[in-house]
Structure 1
Amino acid sequence: MQLALPALDRDPRLVDTNPDSVASWVERLPYSDLHECGRLLLEALRGLSRTPMEVGNRHKLLLHYLKGLDRYYPALESEIVQTDLTSVVRTRQLAMLGAALFESIFVAFKLTLTERLAKRGLLEREQQRIELLLYTMMAARQLLNICCQSYSPPPAHFWQDCHQLYSFALARGWQDKHLEKDDSPALIYRQILLLGLTSTNRLSMPELLVTKQLIMDLSRQTTLLPVEALKGTVHGYLVDSSRDEPPRFLRVQSETLEAACYLLDLSPAITVLTHSVEQLTRLQNTSHSPSQVYDELTLLQSLAAEWQQPRRRRHQRLPIQEVIELISTIPAIWYRCNGMSWIQAGNEQAAPPASTRAPPAPSLFVVVNQSATGFLLRGQPRGQTLRAGEAILLTQPGKPDTAQLCMVCWVSLLPDGIDVECGVEIIGRQPAAVMLIPSITHPTDTPQFALRLPAITTLHRPPLLVTQGRLFSRLREFRLWDEAGENLIRSSRLDKQSPHFQLMEFRASEYF
């Protein structure tokens, strides 16, 4: 087993290698200062993995640092999950720091395991080695988890190391060993593979949390089939232990592959997902919360489709290097479309308080390439919220007539922790600012910001409304204010829904 490990080039005299001293230092860390505490822990962990020392002592020190990380990580995760990652530079930096911390934990466990396996002696117990292998694989799983949460790829050699750890467990017959209430190496490996082939950067944070739990549960329904056991040609996710990459969807022919290759059989897991989709489809027609059922149904359908076959590019990409202005979230887009004002002409009584601040200025992004349906963008959000499913407005500088309303499909944080890439889908052009409120209201209801997209006659697409939250209900009546005044309308069909907005067809109430 040749794992990727750093050189042992630190002078032991310059590193604290006393377990009692390290335990005391861990207790005194400034846990309330997330950035400083993380920086100190990261520096110590990197020093641990570059300093020559006796393996037993390294293991003791690692466990002390792990206690500190267990105390530190919940606050870090809360910050990442609750604060928008892309719009706040500090949160992006904390996310990158968290990924670096778990990479260091993974490296430290790999080194400790390697040194323990190399040690020969009567006192070396097999159980201790199995425990180290399990902790190393659990560290890999947690590293991939936080990479998914921070929309960033795992470090180099990650997949190669995971493949080798599983192959080693298999060779030793340890693949089904486990600690009390913990998973076995075989199950952890399948969880890592399933998480690796899922496009988590297309998910909102709530969707990601649900997906990760589904993966933890449904990985028990997956199987690794050696390619030499396959008959004929099949299409599926190939795991090649000799390559530093996650499972790839390929046309698999056993006679052209080496023995270290497996087919990840997802059929039982897909069957469970399909059954859940069927149940939700039946429930959708009778549910009192159709929007919530729609969200769950869309997520499960997306996962089932991707696990059967990943998304393929349907349109040619044309490389262009054009700078555009980007504004995100419906209120900020509404403000821009309403002439940089929170007050709608003719509907002044519905204006927000005078103290309401103007949204952040547009951010400049580069259009890396363009297809018939969307764009690939790269840049710094600078206060703009970029998350999967968010509405954004793209405009060429100084040309308001070029405004296009889009939806963020996926997000990726680049390694520098500063720039962000995202793929966006075009929804419509020239959105207009309108206000909306259900005709039957509660005392606390107030008019909401909404956007109206014009009809596209050539595509037989009627006018559409873009609203925040979950307002849609078939034939629900609304009062709508636009440049023509107040009108009564009814929603007729839900065209699209994301975690952050709904796109619905509507008609004047008099037509119903």
Structure 2
Amino acid sequence: MDPQLVDTQPASVAAWLERLPYADLPECGRLLGQGLYHLGRTPLDPMQRYKLLKLYLKALDRYYPLLEGETQHSDILSSPKTRLLAMLGVKLFANLFVAFKQTLNEKLARNALLDRDQPKIELLLYTMLAARQYLNISQQYYCPLPDGFWLDCHQLHALALSRGWQDKALAGDDALAVIYRQILLLGLTAANRLSNAELQLTRRLVYELAGQISLRPVAGLPDGLHGYLLDPQEDSPPRYLRITPGSLDADCSLLDLSAALDSLRRSLEQLQKTAGSVPSTQANDEAQLLAGLVEEWQKPRRRRHNRENARAMAEVSAGVAPIWYRVNEGSWQLPGAEAEENIPLRPPPPSCLLLIVNHSESGYLLRGLPRDQSLRAGEILLVNPPDRPEDAQLCAVRWVLMQPTGKEVECGVEILGVQPQPVLAMPSITHSGDSFQRGLWLPAQYGKPDLLLLPGRPFSQLREFRLLDPGGERLVRVSKLHQQSPHFQLMEYRLSEDF
């Protein structure tokens, strides 16, 4: 667009923003993103652009809650519509960050004699807040960050330190130094392994704990210490390394998380006490998340097995019920069981074809169009070569990442077992309205015991279930929780008579 055609008058821009179709989220997001894009590329006095950007912020305060309300209770990656909304949201905040960064640089480049520092400080703070929100929405929608993002954040913090502005804050928000630490802590957290609910809690914890993080110059550290190293000359978040001060630049720092970890452990202990005295699914889930964060912030996960490249295709189905249908030979009726539904159920969506990019002993890297399959962190998958259901493997999604195009999705999956079998399960002590639930049985193999996978949170130590399979009904007790996600629990069990 010709820069001369871009509206730069605050009154008419405000009127245009007010008229935007906020009820039409895709169109409104597209128009806001375009407006910010062109505003950032139109020659303007920096303070004039700053005024216009603040008008856009008011519009975003109206648009973003609507976008979040549309996406937070749905699987972002499961449909073209939600993937489009995710990409529009990410591009929108990317353009906002770029526009604020450009305005700040232009303002700093003007060394007028009577220039006040306050507008520069405000611009720096808004730019850091835009960076934080850009990171937030990228993680929320499982999108990769562009090259240069981390270097920009490090340079903004370095600017604040050089001017003595690190403790400055906008009314009602955190100081710039704290915002930077929030960004760093979010950056070293594997957000693509978390569900939307887990990510929201993680973000709240990060915001609360970031003020307890300190940056310790490497010059005063002993040789051979392991920790998260921050190199402001690198385009990356802090990385967990063996720190050798003699080989590092003087501006490198150790991200000292000890105080934040102590606070997190205290919260975890309190949650565990609460869950122990008053059993609560929410408390147990939060305790599991906090335990994972404590582990990750002390030392990140490392790949356990070497990966080998592969260029094969796989049929993929997601979710306990669709997988149950497939392994039950395309039927909702378990052989030998009484029909429970009077109304015939529709078959699940067809499997999608994904590319196996690489594989290891423990899992696969898959990429492609998920179509109607729910490739979300913690979901259960059935993976098999095309037209070879006898080679099916039951897997769990460990992490997800949307590709930059917004169409394809990439995910890492862990193999749980092979040849899952359909079963029906119901607690032996029932309540009104209880009925058999569809589940999956993994037969004992490779030194692993019989395992039962059920949706939700049914596990309780030695809880007894009626287990129905094509061979008949048995009473079993679950004895050990092997693993769980927000979407399933995988439990070891034995016949009740063996206890």
Same fold (TM over 0.5): yes
Name the CA distance, whole Å, in 2 between partners of 1:269 and 1:92. Answer: 34
Per the TM alignment, residue 44 of structure 1 is displaced from its structure 2 partner at its CA by: 0.7
Matching of residues 410-449 of structure 1 within 5 Å: 410-449=399-438
Q: CA deviation digits over 1:354-381, x for unaligned, max 9?
A: 1x22111010011111111111111111
Tell me the amino acid that sits aligned with residue 301 of structure 2.
R
Structure-2 change in CA distance of 1:70 and 1:279 (3 Å) = closer
> Is 1:463 the equivalent of 2:450?
yes
Give the corresponding residue for 1:15: 6
Judge conservation of contact 1:236–1:249 (CA < 8 Å) in 2: yes
Q: CA deviation digits over 1:438-485, x for unaligned, max 9?
A: 1222222121111111012x41x2211100111111222222211012
> Is 1:227 the equivalent of 2:218?
yes
Judge conservation of contact 1:12–1:53 (CA < 8 Å) in 2: no
> Is 1:41 the equivalent of 2:28?
no
Give the corresponding residue for 1:114: 105
Q: CA deviation digits over 1:143-194, x for unaligned, max 9?
A: 0000101111212211111001000000000001112221111101010001
Name the CA distance, whole Å, in 2 between partners of 1:48 and 1:135. Answer: 16
> Is 1:501 the equivalent of 2:491?
no
Structure-2 change in CA distance of 1:352 and 1:473 (3 Å) = farther
Per the TM alignment, residue 508 of structure 1 is displaced from its structure 2 partner at its CA by: 2.1
Name the CA distance, whole Å, in 1 between partners of 2:284 and 2:357. Answer: 33
- Unmatched tracts of structure 2, length 5 or more: none
> Is 1:487 the equivalent of 2:487?
no
> Is 1:302 the equivalent of 2:292?
yes
Give the corresponding residue for 1:79: 70
Q: 2:366 aligns with which of 377, 382, 394?
A: 377
SS in 2 for 1:377: strand
Per the TM alignment, residue 11 of structure 1 is displaced from its structure 2 partner at its CA by: 3.9
Q: 1:395 aligns with which of 379, 384, 387?
A: 384
Give the corresponding residue for 1:331: 321
Q: CA deviation digits over 1:364-422, x for unaligned, max 9?
A: 01111111111111111110001111110011112121011010000011111111111
Normalising by structure 2, we get a TM-score of 0.97
Matching of residues 64-463 of structure 1 within 5 Å: 64-121=55-112, 124-289=115-280, 291-351=281-341, 353-354=343-344, 356-456=345-445, 458-459=446-447, 461-463=448-450
Judge conservation of contact 1:327–1:394 (CA < 8 Å) in 2: yes
Q: CA deviation digits over 1:195-220, x for unaligned, max 9?
A: 00110001111111111111111111
Percentage identity across paired residues of the two chains: 55
Name the CA distance, whole Å, in 2 between partners of 1:123 and 1:34. Answer: 44
Which one is further off, 24-33 or 147-156?
147-156
Give the corresponding residue for 1:6: none
Judge conservation of contact 2:3–2:38 (CA < 8 Å) in 1: no
Per the TM alignment, residue 285 of structure 1 is displaced from its structure 2 partner at its CA by: 4.4
Q: CA deviation digits over 1:15-54, x for unaligned, max 9?
A: 1111111000000000001110011111110100100012
Q: How many residues align?
A: 499
Name the CA distance, whole Å, in 2 between partners of 1:114 and 1:285. Answer: 54
Q: CA deviation digits over 1:264-300, x for unaligned, max 9?
A: 11111122223333444455544423x5444223212
CA RMSD in angstroms, aligned pairs only: 1.6
Name the CA distance, whole Å, in 2 between partners of 1:44 and 1:279. Answer: 48
Tell me the amino acid that sits aligned with residue 295 of structure 1.
D
Structure-2 change in CA distance of 1:495 and 1:233 (3 Å) = closer
Give the corresponding residue for 1:3: none
